[in-house]
Amino acid sequence: MGSVGIIGGGISGLALASALERSSTYAVSLYDTGSRAFGGRASSRKLQGIPVDHSVQFFIGQNPQFLKQVAEWEHANVVQKWSGPIGTLQPDSSFQPFPDKLSRYIGSSEHGIQALSSHMAAQLRRCKLHSNVWVSPSNGLRQYEDGTWGVWVNNKEVGRHTMVVIAHNGKCADRITSSTPARRVNKLLQVGFSDKPFQGKMTLNAVYSLVVEVDRNVFSNNIEGSFLSKSSVLSWIACNTRKYKKQGPTEIWTLLSTPAFAKQHKVPQEHLKGTDTEQLVLEAMVTEAFTYMGKDGGGTDTRDFIKNFKLQLWGAGVPTNVWKSDDKKQFIWDPEFNIGCVGDWLATPSIEGAWLSGEELGKHLGDQPLVGAGLVGRFVPAGDSSGIGDIGGEVVRQGSGAGARGARGRGGFSRVQGRGGGGAGFNKQNKTLTEMYGSQRRSLGPT
């Protein structure tokens, strides 16, 4: 019968497990580091009773097979169309709604985008789910002489499988395969980190995610979500409270930085809290949001604006390039060592890409496990100008030149850089973070 071990419980790993249950009789086990829930970047948390999407903000669909799956999720009330005012804020603070007819999907009103991954996990029937499991990058994956694979956690084997699939990326995926004989797979998993793609190598950007709680309508009162055109600091802002139709005296917003800004101020996540970098990033991102929304203080005591905050760095954020195989497969399978890979870096950097990758490998293993796929190809630039994936934004390829419309990261600022030329609003005041927000700022909880 055989068995498959899946290392990674994001959308691609969950989609693979589901496809394997439908297309094969393999025993399936999935191992994920998440302690709260599965989902990877498709995750949310409850803050003040509000579902907060702190990574994936919404997704779109274009592939007919994926759109059919989205319709099923919509029927199950785990996703819904985003009907509120969403679009782009211009440097002059004008708001332009999206002109296209694309449907943009968000999570459920009670659980946010987390509802999607939780639903996918709950639908699995035969797959053994292992959460809060750290498969060590150092010899946590071992192939034995008989060809089987051992999955090791804390120096103990927790699973043995005839096949394994790496359903995540970054340094851990590189390291976990580096000591195995699967050299071709490991070479493709080797990764660099930058806001612009490296040639011939997987590249992931970095993004700061800032969640802030403010009084109602402190920020703009007429939008639910928006890209920020030509900002060097912020890529996206959204109000989770309005997005999910909640009420209350305060609102919780998510602000996502541009990859160039995150790269310039990147520090290890564990070394961020309580540092000068945390204060600089918080001030820069909040100031940019106020400035783009046409707020200039107006004599208001700015210490009252930020009630709580949570800042997180996604150091291995979104792929800036993807692997395009010569056989047009959106997954990797090496039958010589019975190891494969799934993920949005093999399709498009999106929920759709992750799901398609897992779905396609699941079917392949059910039908043709002895046939290799996806091993020959090249890395090509991917993602739109937002820097946070293929989500229906303007397509401006990374590295297309500083003069490109929507280009990010003009660089060269010291403490707070807004839109250049001295800026307006809070930038004029030239206040420090403590002067702006006082000592009342409180973290919204642990990472």
pLDDT of residue 270: 75
3-state secondary structure of 274: coil
pLDDT of residue 405: 31
First and final C-alpha spacing in the chain: 40
User: In the chain, what percentage of residues exceed pLDDT 70?
Assistant: 85
Instruction: Give CA separation, 292 vs 67, 227, 231, 288, in Å.
Output: 34, 10, 9, 6
Please state the rounded mean pLDDT for residues 65-80: 98
Query: Do residues 108 and 77 make contact, with C-beta atoms less than 8 angstroms apart?
Result: yes
| 32 φψ region: left (φ > 0), alpha (ψ -120 to 50), beta (else) | beta
pLDDT exceeds 50 at position 424: no
Query: Do residues 393 and 387 make contact, with C-beta atoms less than 8 angstroms apart?
Result: no
Please state the rounded mean pLDDT for residues 195-221: 91
Query: Do residues 434 and 305 make contact, with C-beta atoms less than 8 angstroms apart?
Result: no
Query: Do residues 253 and 239 make contact, with C-beta atoms less than 8 angstroms apart?
Result: yes
Please state the rounded mean pLDDT for residues 409-419: 28
- pLDDT tens digits, residue range 375-390? 999 999 987 667 777 7
Token pair 């564990």: residue: 270
pLDDT of residue 395: 42
Instruction: Give CA separation, 35 vs 105, 151, 164, in Å.
Output: 26, 18, 22
Tell me how far apart the alpha carbons of residues 347 and 364 are, in angstroms, rounded to a whole number.
Answer: 16
pLDDT exceeds 70 at position 397: no
Question: Where residue 404 falls among pLDDT bands split at 50, 70, 90?
Answer: very low
- pLDDT tens digits, residue range 300-323? 544 458 899 999 999 888 999 999
Q: How deeply is 412 buried, as exposed, middle or buried, from its count of CB atoms within 10 A (0-12, 13-18, 19+)?
A: exposed
Radius of gyration from C-alpha coordinates of the chain:
22
pLDDT exceeds 50 at position 85: yes
Query: Do residues 320 and 399 make contact, with C-beta atoms less than 8 angstroms apart?
Result: no
- The structure's pTM equals 0.87
pLDDT of residue 299: 53
Query: Do residues 193 and 205 make contact, with C-beta atoms less than 8 angstroms apart?
Result: yes
Question: Where residue 410 falls among pLDDT bands split at 50, 70, 90?
Answer: very low
Q: At what angle do helices 64-75 and 351-367 cross, to 10 degrees?
A: 110
pLDDT of residue 335: 98
Q: How many CA atoms lie within 13 A of 371 on its CB side?
A: 11
Length of the chain: 447
pLDDT of residue 430: 40
Tell me how far apart the alpha carbons of residues 139 and 176 are, in angstroms, rounded to a whole number.
Answer: 6
Listed in sequence order, the DSSP H helices in 333-394 are: 351-367
- pLDDT tens digits, residue range 92-109? 999 999 988 899 999 999
pLDDT of residue 190: 96
Tell me how far apart the alpha carbons of residues 208 and 235 are, in angstroms, rounded to a whole number.
Answer: 10
